[in-house]
A and B are shown apart, each in its own frame.
Chain A
């Protein structure tokens, strides 16, 4: 396997503090070697080496096609569809339509003014200005209607995700048993690529808005549930005891103490749900969600970079507005929220003010403001005025053509972007893929087991091995190895770049200050939009998919690693310095070992994030498993798509478990 995933394992052995784990690791490895020595020849003799043996696969194509046909035949007659799924579907469709009609009725001026007011109320003046400018740009790009369609879908999906997530989180926060059951499920769901969620809903609901919203809810509810549960469980025991000592009832305890004290996590949960929902609502264009994502999807399928960018910019702007408005960096959301202590989230709010609430703005002022917004909307008209749009597609395509001519290749000395892409594909991806596919199937399983066991526990090992075997049984071994090769190569690049940048950021406050806003913006963008620039730069193929994956995963890696390095106990660093350690020695011997949990978490996140983009990279020619999903959807061949989707889920599970350190769990608990 590639060096990328072995590095955390080998660092385990090199650490000074893991004096106990060295023999443990050795013992684990020896046991595994012994097991392999017995089982592998047998397996090889029985089924042969090389790719996953034909004898061990189960074809699900027949039964799945039958099931799919049955569902299509019975969708309008069977009671399950008529009285259950049908109602769900209708409710979603009418909700989305209702919101859309309201948005249209408010008109462009009304929506823009309303959004700005809301942003101002929740997050202050800067967010309001951002909202105002962003909506104006969406309109100016001629994307008003698709933006409103995406927004309508988002509003319904987010409301449902937050409601479902909060209920689940409440249950898990109050009951230990629910928490124990729910937590691994939520963790796993967050590790799976978005694509894996699409096909099951399509199987039941067909293609359209309803399955798109449902897939979005399934994808976006877990972070809300998780953070709600963590927030409720994390409330200060001392305060709860004091509340009890005053004679509070269980209800009073929940409403006046536990929920308000979990406010920070609840807000973070809403924010993350919104961002996940946007990300998924855009991807769900593959299964019939119209709006901005659909425009990008259509444009990418014809490699029309100009049109893709025209629809991609509003997505990015929407992401920024939604994040700025709900991430709670403004004074109001944080009023009264204690700032001390770390948060279990990707973003740490800074500079919160404990300003007391001013009660000057009353309900009446808000009613007046709302009325004014509506009136403004009615006066200004429903749709964005045609004369106010700017067509950027043509100039962008022009620029792209120029790039194709001048940057793709032949720049003296450094080559060109297409050359790099070709080198990356030819020198790295192809050998890696061929190597993985040539490796005996049992060899791959042994390597996965060894890595998982060294980093995690026997449980994670078992899950990883079973997931890998499931891919083989499904008959998707070769495409999965193809996807795996892309993931491993991209993860290696991500980690090398990410660690380098993170070390720089951790050592120099200036680099950190410069980097922070960039990371903020990059982390808010949906995975989908990263495909647009890479297509412009590298054309179509596996290399641009990898580039998009690296760019998408990099911010998270940089953030986690630099935070880990900076949080290292200053006492330990000081003592190392007092002993005369050089900068490099401090880094190698103190900071890296002490930040080991964060480093492993960074590897885990890199793997999960890279996989999710490599899969949607199928839309720009990434091939492999992702392509089979897209192909299945496009051809109506759900059996192929579902099998590939399941294989993706298994691959995601395997990669997550292989890189899942034991400590990552203990840390948040």
Chain B
């Protein structure tokens, strides 16, 4: 990955005050008093629809950044703005510190060809080409010779597990297989960042799970940076390092899955995450209390990043409390009482005091 030897502090994507307004004379909306209007009022007064409103975020190298929201929240528009498939109305986008909005045609084409590849909800495969030629299509666009691009494409086909299907056409594949082709096509260009637009929404639940694991593997093993759009909360929690939750074009909360579930920013988010099995998302770092005398040496050891569900298993097995060990040092303990507290949601009114105390003690 080209980003590895760069300064980790330079975000892959840095988005600031991004607006996308559809409608007549759209550019008068951002920055004016119209910006504060609700969607219905804005439509009534100007005939415009603001799909993305004043959005800012950074995507760090190697992370999987998930943008989540219900349909119509502007998430698909947002991801298209990143490579200017949809031209943003206002705001700045930078890729590795380089301004995207100011790019000329050639530079933009170069960005799309080599640096950011996208996977689409409805696959976007060319129906008249074979699997292999579909995967090689991006390379063909780049002007790569036939033999070379086919060899590369064959490699990608193998990587996504479609070996033996090279000569089939998209119509002869199942939805999951088609999306694997879409993924292989995106990977073939070896892009710095992968953009996913609800890639698995059209797939069956079991196949969706498979594909999600594939994505997680790509992210963890190869360190690919990803921007992943989804409307499915469990998918977001499963694969996201950080999640931005969108509503009506705005980001209402941006944080790790644990932060979103454990400390919802407002009632909307709280409502959204209400049915999430908390023990599978929240970690023992949130559940633990300071160790009392003698507890720091006994009981099973847990990593601070392990989930409450794992801790419950360990605690239930031994019957006593379990230690939370960070780099050989015991930073706290969990027992059935504090674990049950998490499951029951007793910590919902803000982070429990105990957590803060422990963190301070650890520092």
Give me the interface of A with B, judged by CB distance under 8 Å: 236, 238-239, 241-249, 252, 256-257, 260-261, 263, 336-340, 354, 356
Contact = CB atoms under 8 A, between A and B. Distances in A.
B111 interface: yes
Contact of B120 (A242, A263, A340): A242
A156 to B, nearest CB: 31
A252 B117 CA distance: 17
A37 B96 CA distance: 77
A338 B118 contact: no
Interface string B84-107: 010000000000000000000000
Contact of A261 (B127, B138, B142): B127
A252 B141 CA distance: 7
The 4 A-B residue pairs with the shortest CB-CB distance in the complex, in nearest-first order:
A242-B124, A247-B112, A247-B113, A336-B128
Contacts of B171: 338-340, 354
A229 to B, nearest CB: 19
A242 B140 CA distance: 14
B85 A260 contact: no
Given A245-B117, A246-B189, A252-B141, A239 B125 contact: yes
A241 B167 contact: no
Interface in B109-123: 109-114, 117-118, 120-123
Contacts of B128: 260-261, 263, 336-338
Nearest to A354: B169
B320 to A, nearest CB: 55
Interface of B: 83, 85, 108-114, 117-118, 120-130, 137-138, 140-142, 167, 169, 171-172, 182, 185, 189, 195
Contacts, number: 84
A248 B83 CA distance: 13
A245 B118 contact: yes
B85 A244 contact: yes
Contacts of A248: 141
Contacts of B142: 247
A241 B111 contact: no
Contact of A241 (B109, B120, B140, B172): B120
Given A242-B124, A245-B118, A354-B171, A336 B111 contact: no
Given A242-B120, A252-B141, A257-B126, A247 B167 contact: no
A241 B124 contact: yes
B64 to A, nearest CB: 19
A238 B121 CA distance: 9
A243 B129 CA distance: 13
A50 to B, nearest CB: 55
A336 B127 CA distance: 7
Contacts of B182: 242
12 contacts: A238-B123, A238-B124, A241-B85, A241-B120, A242-B123, A242-B125, A245-B112, A246-B113, A246-B137, A247-B141, A336-B169, A354-B172
B225 to A, nearest CB: 16
Contacts of A238: 120-124
A338 B141 contact: no
A245 B129 CA distance: 18
Given A238-B120, A260-B128, A261-B128, A245 B141 contact: no
B110 A247 contact: yes
A483 B171 CA distance: 51
A356 B112 contact: no
A246 B130 contact: no
A242 to B, nearest CB: 3
A244 B120 CA distance: 12
A143 to B, nearest CB: 41
Given A260-B126, A356-B130, A245 B85 contact: yes
B194 to A, nearest CB: 11
A136 B10 CA distance: 78
B13 to A, nearest CB: 15
Contact of B111 (A242, A247, A249, A337): A247
A479 to B, nearest CB: 52
A245, A257, A356 interface centre (most CB from chain B within 10 Å): A245
Contacts of B169: 336, 354, 356
